[in-house]
Structure 1
Amino acid sequence: MSSPAHAIYSSTLSLSLQGHEFQPQYGVQLIFNETVRSRLLCSAACSQNPSCRIFDYDSSSHRCRLFEADLTNGAIIETASQTSIVGSVILSASLYASMYNQSCSACQGNRYQTCSSTTNKCQCPGNSYWNGSMCPLQLFENAACSQIDACRSDLNLSCVMNSYGEFTQCLIAATTIYTQNFIYNIPSSSECIAWNTFQSTLTSRPYRSMTIKGSNDPIGITLTNPRYVAGIANALLTNATYGPVSSNGYLWVVGPCGYGYELSATGDVCGCSLGYIVRPCIGNMNWGGINGNTCGASSQTMIVIIQ
């Protein structure tokens, strides 16, 4: 059936047999739960809400529920009420192909695409993502994912990328921070212990960026390539060599130096290049530096944030 709403909001629905209701996998998927007079009005409410992919309606209680869900993260189940029915919005690539990434005039008022205030182009609505042909709903924790924006970012989920650059599953994003004060001409002892702790707390959880900053540069430099961030995090965790890789204008590398592993944005390890180097476990006073000398550097705070 098609909704009686205005054509730009219309949708084609598939109806279940009587005696069924929708069971969401997560409570957050329920976006509307009200009493309405008829199934037609309930289906119209779903059609006019871009987030709605499934609704159920009970003609005895007049309960109308709208869900931001589909059959990949919920199920149509039998219920004791024989007057309950489920409606699912039927989606196809043809609903998206002529609009996606076009100027906003192409999707004005359309339920399947929304105008992005950032790009002024037609994009997928909130909690959905472009997979090359359609806008499926974003995925929940532990679901297998195949691209960076496939997971519910509003729930702090990211699609984990392994050190080989392969996307794996949706997991809660992690943040790991190293911050220590270094003193000119003094070997870094306690700072090395803290660095080892920092390395050991890195995990396979998703990381999206890494920032090196400190008192010499409060803003610092940031690596935003998730694949490289994952590679660096894994190298620090396992005491392995990684890089150099070029991104965001710097050459990022992890490698052995002294009694531990160094993180550098200069393209080499155990050197004295000017720039951004953190190596608290070198065993002498050349523990690195931020935005300047990295051998015999002045007293400063150095911070590494992987998130």
Structure 2
Amino acid sequence: MAAERRHAQMNSYSDIELFSLATQFQPANYIELLSTSSVSTLVGCGQLCNQNVKCRTFDYDSYSFMCRLFEGAVETGSLVPSGSSTSLVGAVRFQPNLFAAFGQDCVQCTNSRYLICSSSNNNTCQCPENTIWNGVKCKNQGYEDANCSNNQWCRQDVEYRCNNMTIIKTDLPGNDLMWNTTANFSMCCSWCGNHSDCKAFTWISSPGMSFGMCYLKWSRGGGGTINPGYISAYY
């Protein structure tokens, strides 16, 4: 859905972009949820995000005071409708100039919100955990299902999960309800979860592309064959 954008300077270190009301953040993988806490104001939730070097996105509900922090950037997840009209999403804006000290001596990134000092890289300024340098700035690592070009671009600490479904790395031929492109396996999982007739699905990565094919199925059917890039789930 199209997002109405506003900007708020939470403090001198982060520019926060606010999206429209009645939305919440859906990360590419729920391992990206850093914390859930009760905070009295939107500004307070934004400040919590700013204080956590891993935090890139948050959502806040001014009725329940629930503040959720995520390490996933808003462009790697998605904004989805919320059941609450008082919920909205905020995202830290990561401009390239904020990463100018990358690769330089650690003295250049002392107290930096965006880079950390890495002793394993000759005491130089490097990207925080679970992010990677793309030549311009630090961006979130993807997952095995996100068409990563090499292992450095993908997180290696995450297994595939989809509710209480069984995960198999094979195709499930036939029994298709519908199909469409999705950015990753997790979004295919969410799409299946929103359809009561979906009892299984197959996600197929597309090498070199930023999306894959998601096939929802009314039944698991017979067993499929093991194929690189094929991941299926079933009840």
Shared fold (TM-score, shorter chain, > 0.5):
yes
Corresponding residue of 2:177: none
Residues of 1 paired with 2:14 and 2:29: CA distance?
24
Alignment of 1:203-218 (within 5 A): none
1:109-136 deviation per Cα after TM superposition (whole angstroms, max 9, x unaligned): 1111000021200000000001111100
Query: 1:73 deviation in Å?
Result: 3.3
Aligned with 1:149: secondary structure? helix
Alignment of 1:104-143 (within 5 A): 104-118=106-120, 119-143=122-146
Unaligned runs of 5+ in 2: 1-7, 161-206, 210-226, 230-235
Corresponding residue of 2:78: 75
Give the TM-score of the pair, scaled to structure 2: 0.62
1:24 to 1, 24, 27: 27
Query: 1:59 deviation in Å?
Result: 0.5
Aligned with 1:91: secondary structure? coil
Residues of 2 paired with 1:122 and 1:153: CA distance?
23
1:23-61 deviation per Cα after TM superposition (whole angstroms, max 9, x unaligned): 123220100101011111100000111111100000100
Unaligned runs of 5+ in 1: 158-166, 170-202, 206-307
Aligned with 2:9: secondary structure? coil
Query: 1:204 deviation in Å?
Result: 6.6
Are 2:43 and 1:40 aligned?
Answer: yes
1:3 to 10, 27, 35: 10
Q: Is the 8 A contact 2:74 2:91 kept in 1?
A: no
Query: 1:168 deviation in Å?
Result: 6.2
Corresponding residue of 1:103: 105
Aligned with 2:113: secondary structure? coil
Residues of 2 paired with 1:156 and 1:32: CA distance?
20
Q: Is the 8 A contact 2:142 2:154 kept in 1?
A: yes
Q: Report 1 or 2 for greater relative contact order, CA contacts < 8 Å, sequence distance ≥ 6.
A: 2
Aligned with 2:152: secondary structure? coil
Corresponding residue of 1:276: none
Query: 1:145 deviation in Å?
Result: 2.1
Alignment of 1:51-90 (within 5 A): 51-90=54-93
1:94 to 97, 102, 118: 97
Residues of 1 paired with 2:53 and 2:67: CA distance?
16
Query: 1:154 deviation in Å?
Result: 3.1
85-94 vs 64-73, which moves further = 64-73
Corresponding residue of 1:50: 53
Q: 1:59 to 1:204 in 2, by over 3 A?
A: closer
Corresponding residue of 1:224: none
Alignment of 1:141-160 (within 5 A): 141-155=144-158
Aligned with 2:138: secondary structure? coil
Identity %: 37
Residues of 2 paired with 1:24 and 1:16: CA distance?
15
Aligned with 1:76: secondary structure? strand
Query: 1:151 deviation in Å?
Result: 0.8
**RMSD between aligned residues:** 2.2
Q: 1:39 to 1:154 in 2, by over 3 A?
A: same
Residues of 1 paired with 2:153 and 2:53: CA distance?
18
Aligned with 1:12: secondary structure? strand
Aligned with 2:43: secondary structure? helix
Give the TM-score of the pair, scaled to structure 1: 0.48
Aligned with 1:46: secondary structure? helix
In our comparison, the structure showing a higher alpha carbon Rg is 1
1:174-203 deviation per Cα after TM superposition (whole angstroms, max 9, x unaligned): xxxxxxxxxxxxxxxxxxxxxxxxxxxxx9
Query: 1:148 deviation in Å?
Result: 4.3
Corresponding residue of 1:174: none
Q: 1:44 to 1:79 in 2, by over 3 A?
A: same
Q: 1:80 to 1:133 in 2, by over 3 A?
A: same
Corresponding residue of 1:162: none
Q: Is the 8 A contact 2:41 2:65 kept in 1?
A: yes
Residues of 2 paired with 1:12 and 1:72: CA distance?
16
